[in-house]
Every structure is written in C-alpha cells, then in structure tokens.
C-alpha cells in the first residue's frame, strides 16, 4: 500500500536514547490509513486462511531464514532505537524472534481439534478457525521479540495481522515487513502501521473489521483498548500489562554462590530494568539479609553502564528523559519517606544527550511507597528482609501485579510450596527465567487479561472454536 493511501500526517523523529541523535523519520498512520489497511487485510484473509497450514508454515519458515540472514541489521535497529546493548540484541532478542517465527511455522499443521466422548448416536467435533483481520500493539522495550510472539501464532493459524510498533522503535518491524514481502507472504497478511498510540492504536481497537487485538504495555493503555473493543464489535482482547516481580531468597539461598548474584542482577537490571518481568522487589530471609545486600550492591556497582553500540556494555540508557526523571523521582521520594539508598539513584553522563541511570539498590522502603508498589521500569530494585515463609509470600503477593516471580532454595519442598502460593503467571525456581517458546507466558491479576503468549496456548487468542454436532442413525434412514 502506497504512502499516499495510508492517510499519513506529520513526521515522527526516531532518536537514539544513547545520545538523543535523530536516526530516522517516518509518517504516522492516521485513522483513514488504518481503515484502508484493515480493509486490505480483511480482503486477504480468506485466501490466507484457505492455504494448507503447511503452506503457511513454509512461507513463515522462509521469513525466519531471511531474518537470520539480516540478523545484524535487525540487531542494530533495535539497539539504536531502544538503547539496548548490542550484545543483548545479537545474542538474545534477534535469535529469540527468529525462533518464535520458526517454531510457530512448524506448529502450523500441528494444531488439531478434538472429538467429544459421545455414545454411538452422535459425533461431536471441535475445530479451531482463524478470525480474519487481527491486530497487535507491541512495546518499545523488546520491539522485534514481542512482535514475533504475536506474528507467529496469528499468521500460522490463518489470520492477517496489522502490527503497530511503539512510536520510538518502529524500524526493526518495518524491516521485518519488508522481509515478509520478500519471503512471498501475500499483500495484507502482515502490515506494519507505525504511528501514535492515541490515533493508530485507538483506530485498530475500535475498527469493527478487526476481530481480535493483542497488546503489551501499560495498564492505562490496556484499559483504553478494552473500552474501544467493547464500544465497537466486542473483538477478542488479550493484554499483558507489566509487573512488579518479586525475587524470594530463602535461608539457604547463599549456597548457590556467585550464580545467585549473577541471576539476581540479570533479573533486576537486564535492559536497564525496562523489562516487564524485572525482579524489582527482592525479599531475603533475615538471617542472610546483610550479606546478600552487601554482595548485591557490589555486583550492581560493577555492571558496565555505557554506549549500547559497544560490545562490552551491559546496561544502556533509559528510553527517554521522561523515563529517567520518573526513576530518579521515585528513588528520591522513597528516601524522603525513610528508605536507604545503597548505590546509584542519580543520572550519570555516558554520552551527551543520553539518559543513563546506574544500577540502583534501595533498602528499608516503606510498603506503601510508590517505589514498592508501582512499576518503575528502570534499573532500580528494593531489598527487604522477611522472617518466615508466610511473611515472604505475603510480601510477594502484596501487589496488584502478578506476572512473574523467582524463588531460591535448595529445599525443593520449600521452593515448591512458595512457588505454588505466589500469585504470578510464571515462577522460576533457582534461576531467573520466563520459560521458553514451548511454555505459556501470561500474567495474573492486573498483569494479564484474555490470553497467553508463546507455546500452543498462543493459538487460542487468535482462533475461534467451532463445534460440529452430527446425529448418527442406525439401521438406515
């Protein structure tokens, strides 16, 4: 679809969080452009759905091959636009996105229906069917990886997907759309619509031809999408809306040695804490609290905060100046209320124009403080002691979020008890992890609504069940 038909308006400038430099401009898609793109997708949907699942899978496998070919380009775009360390993009984000597309391509002909356990008077068959034109809105912190989680099952199950990237990080998925065309995906099967959330995103949520919408991002936006869906056609809505994830260290956690602190640091500071499953609340058995805090601070202070384009950098900048100000303010307010700042907490200059905050550790944070309750989305963690298992669980569950958690203990009975009682969609034991592509990813409470990402469960939010009931007759008609 040409630019003249997309209803384009004023330019948006993409700036590197590393130094504020402009790296690209693009025209956002407005309401008219969304309507036209949705119409194209809806028209293309029947033919795409009619393809044999294996044929869809073959085209998606070719897309994965082209992504692998262009992996350095995709990594550079995500690193520049999002401020992500290039090493993380090369070793994590881009390979993960390729795996997602390839896995769902291979699963396209592996999803089957079911037969009800009837007697011989009937045959009840349940099948799943694509919805047609569907939409997804992805965040700026994992632009390509989150897009792949949604593209994979949506396309493999026979839908045509309209994808809106975050305003700040559109380029990797724009390149992905070009690769999809090169791979031979028909026009309208995958359409990238860059633009403002309040315009482009709202139009997708309210369009009556869009049959389902998936969103990853902030709670306030998720509520608006839900309202838009209800006000239009009651399209299916799936939301992942962040977290305030606990890391729970039981009495014997120190027996894991340096591995414990390496994993704790990854959980807390990966992508500069701009991670929906970031382990931003650390609860430690009181008997080991002082040692854990001291060693965690030492690890935090050794992390290399630097230019994301350099291979040695472990933490890059925050996405923009507003994010940096919010994080500094949250730490400052906590200290005013009695918390103790152990390291970090104030911006440092790495590159002029960048938005850099070092790894920050805060203790004695009041439970009603914003730093304890709100998603900071920055490299900031709070550490607090607990006396027993019940208190640890109570502290962990004292939040409106329920996305992820981690538990550390060599006592597997204790670890499993805690894992079962923590209110979260993903709980890792003796590591920081979200599972892999074969396991569902979704939150409890106000972290998640309407479906899960990854695994075969990822197909559920993009398909509709149909029951075919056949009455059988014996002895002729």
Q: Any idea which residues carry the catalytic annotation?
A: 240, 276
Contact 382, 365 (CB under 8 A): yes
DSSP three-state, residue 129: strand
Q: Which helix (H) or strand (E) holds 468?
A: strand 463-471
Q: Would you call 174 exposed, middle or buried from its count of C-beta atoms within 10 A (0-12, 13-18, 19+)?
A: middle
d(CA 207, CA 477): 48
Q: In the chain, count of helices (H) and strands (E)?
A: 15, 18
Contact 142, 113 (CB under 8 A): no
Contact 235, 446 (CB under 8 A): no
Q: Which helix (H) or strand (E) holds 408?
A: strand 404-408
Q: Which helix (H) or strand (E) holds 115?
A: strand 114-115
CA atoms within 13 A on the CB side of 340: 7
Rounded to the nearest 10 degrees, the angle between the axes of helix 171-183 and helix 143-156 is 30
Name the nearest CA neighbour of 458 among 151, 190, 201: 151
Q: What are the DSSP E strand ranges found in 207-305?
A: 212-216, 236-240, 246-249, 281-285
Q: Cβ contacts of residue 340 below 8 Å, gap of 6+? A: 362, 363, 364
Name the nearest CA neighbour of 77 among 164, 150, 14: 14
- The gap from C-alpha 251 to its chain's centroid, in whole angstroms, comes to 32
Contact 283, 248 (CB under 8 A): yes
């Amino acid at each position: 679809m040409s630019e003249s038909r997309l209803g384009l308006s004023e330019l948006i400038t993409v700036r590197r969080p590393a130094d504020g430099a402009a790296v690209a401009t693009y025209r956002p898609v407005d309401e008219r452009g969304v309507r036209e793109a949705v119409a194209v997708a809806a028209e293309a949907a029947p033919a795409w759905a009619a393809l044999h699942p294996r044929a869809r899978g073959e085209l998606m496998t070719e897309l994965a091959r082209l992504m692998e070919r262009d992996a350095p380009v995709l990594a550079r775009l995500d690193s520049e636009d999002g401020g992500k360390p290039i090493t993380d993009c090369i070793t994590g984000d881009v390979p993960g996105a390729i795996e997602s597309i390839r896995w769902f391509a291979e699963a396209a002909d592996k999803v089957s229906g079911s037969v009800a356990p009837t007697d011989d008077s009937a045959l009840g068959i349940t099948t799943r069917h694509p919805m047609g034109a569907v939409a997804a809105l992805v965040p700026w912190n994992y632009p390509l990886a989150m897009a792949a989680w949604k593209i994979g099952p949506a396309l493999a199950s026979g839908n045509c997907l309209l994808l809106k990237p975050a305003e700040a990080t559109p380029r990797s998925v724009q390149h992905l759309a070009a690769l999809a065309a090169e791979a031979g995906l028909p026009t309208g099967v995958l359409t990238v619509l860059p633009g403002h959330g309040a315009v482009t995103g709202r139009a997708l949520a309210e369009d009556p031809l869009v049959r389902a919408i998936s969103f990853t991002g902030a709670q306030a936006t998720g509520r608006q999408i839900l309202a838009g869906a209800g006000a239009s056609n009651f399209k299916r809505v799936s939301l992942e809306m962040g977290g305030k994830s606990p890391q729970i260290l039981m009495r014997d956690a120190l027996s894991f040695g340096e591995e414990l602190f390496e994993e704790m640091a990854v959980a807390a500071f990966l992508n500069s804490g701009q991670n929906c499953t970031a382990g931003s609340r650390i609860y430690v058995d009181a008997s080991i609290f002082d040692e854990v805090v001291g060693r965690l601070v030492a690890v935090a202070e050794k992390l290399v905060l630097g230019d994301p384009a350099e291979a040695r950098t472990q933490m890059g900048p925050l996405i923009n100046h507003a994010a940096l100000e919010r994080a500094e303010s949250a730490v400052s307010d906590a200290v005013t209320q009695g918390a103790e700042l152990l390291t970090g907490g104030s911006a440092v200059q790495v590159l002029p124009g960048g938005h850099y905050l070092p790894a920050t550790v805060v203790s004695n944070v009041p439970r009603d403080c914003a730093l304890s309750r709100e998603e900071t989305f920055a490299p900031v963690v709070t550490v607090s002691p607990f006396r027993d298992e019940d208190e640890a669980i109570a502290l962990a569950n004292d939040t409106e979020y329920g996305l992820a958690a981690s538990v550390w203990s060599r006592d597997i009975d204790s670890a499993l008890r805690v894992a079962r009682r923590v209110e979260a969609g993903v709980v890792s034991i003796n590591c920081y992890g979200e599972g892999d592509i074969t396991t569902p990813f979704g939150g409890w409470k106000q972290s998640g609504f309407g479906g899960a990402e990854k695994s075969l469960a990822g197909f559920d939010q993009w398909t509709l069940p149909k029951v075919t009931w056949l009455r059988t007759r014996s002895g002729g008609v």
